[in-house]
Each structure stands twice: as structure tokens, then as C-alpha cells.
Amino acid sequence: MYTSSHPPTASRPQSYAPTPYSYTPTSSLSAKISLDEEVKLADTSTERDLLDSLAEIYSIIRTLDGLEKAYIKDAVTETEYTEMCAKLLKQYKSILSDEGVEKEFGDLETFGRRWEIECPRATERIRIGMPSTVEQPSHNPNNSAAGAGAASSRLIVDATENFITFLDALKLNMSSKETLHPLLSDVIQSVNKVTERDFDHRGKIIQWLITLNQMRTTEELSEGQIRDLTFDMEQAYAGFKGTIY
């Protein structure tokens, strides 16, 4: 290739438009960037850990969305779906329990826009905070063919104990999401093992689970919310007992 040693003339316009930021290399500038050199995205281990956590959240959202689609198409069994979905949601919550990650993450909508990720099924599942098989109990021949009477006494005792434990926690003025959400999750999961019937006020359990799930880990319910939650759970407990007895 022929290279002229003379500057461009008027008859041969430059192939680019000079800008105020253009510079002319000098003989003293000998450093070059290797295309094989690894580009560092973070300067410190803290920044690197933060980026790793955000990458994991991204991966969880994409995986969860795929799982929801697979379940709708009957590509996975209810048991496989429930176990995997619960695991992904647990990992998601665990990562966001770190204050630094939670601050950088913002919220699900902001994160989605920032990283151009559209996963509506995963977004809805994360908002609800539980597998759809827990939100709406699936058909189980062991507890539906003959109603609640077909459920074992052990399952009924477990569900009853979980109701009582949750109500006792409210009486002891426990109001944080960190305390109440796991206890209420135990209630609905144990209830679903006993009966799939939609007893009175069962929907209230789901509504409160969603409310708690959308709170930050350190947030607490107000006194008014605690009173409402106590009333709704007492009504749900009565509805559950009316179903099994």
C-alpha cells in the first residue's frame, strides 16, 4: 500500500472530520493496547463482587422466565417446577439481602430497563414471591378425591401448628418482613398439603405474602397493618378448620 508522507491537500479531503479532541501520535507515545488484554470491569474486589451479584440476579431472572414458560407447556412436572422455582426465588432474595447489592439493583423495573431485559413471567413470579403451585394449589389425588379427610393427621397437625406459630408471632409484636414472611410461607405450604379447596379467607394469606414479599428486608409492618393481618389470619384459620372438620 502506498503511503504519502505529505499532509492531505484540498484535492484529497480527509476521510474523517477532525474534532477538538483529536490528537497526533508522537514518537514518545510507545504504549499500545493489546487486543488480547483483559479489560477490567472493576478496580476493587468489592466492585467485582457487586458486579458478580448483579450478573447472578440477571441469570436468575432469565432462568425463572424460562422455567415459567416450560411449566405452562407441561415441559416440567409440578414437583420439578415447584422445587426449582422456590430455589431460584430463595437465591434471588438472598443476593438482594446485601445492602450494597440492593442499593445498586434499585427495583425490578429499573433493573430491567437498565440491562434491557424483558421477562414478564419472571417479573410477576418475583413480585408474588412464591411458585404458582403454592399460590394456587395443584391437583393432588391424596388430598382432593375425598376432601380433607384423605389428608393424614400429621399434615393437619403441621398446618395447625404453623397457623398458631404465626399468630403467636403477631401477639409478640413481631412485625419485620424477615420474621413474618418465612412463617407465613410455612402456613400456606402446609395448608396446601392438606386441602386444595379454596376455603374462606385463604386469598388473604396470599395477599399478605405478596405484601410482605414486596417489602425491603429491614422494613416492618405498621401497628395498623399488624391489626389487619391478625384479623385476616384468624379468619383464615377459622376457614381452614371449617374445611377439615
139 pLDDT more than 70: no
User: The cell 399478605 sits on which residue?
Assistant: 208
Strand ranges, E, within 9-72: none
User: Which residue type sits at 126?
Assistant: I
Give the model confidence (pLDDT) of 64-83 as tens digits.
Answer: 999 999 999 999 999 999 99
Q: What is the mean pLDDT of residues 40-64?
A: 84
12 pLDDT more than 60: no
Positive or negative: CA dihedral 71, 193, 198, 178: negative
Report which listed range, 10-14, 79-83, 164-168, 210-214, is most confident.
164-168
CA-to-CA distance for 118 and 150, rounded, in angstroms?
Answer: 43
Q: DSSP class of residue 143? A: H
Domains and CATH numbers, the chain: 45-129 (1.20.1440.200), 136-244 (1.20.120.1130)
Positive or negative: CA dihedral 166, 137, 86, 201: negative
Least confident segment among 13-17, 68-72, 104-108: 13-17
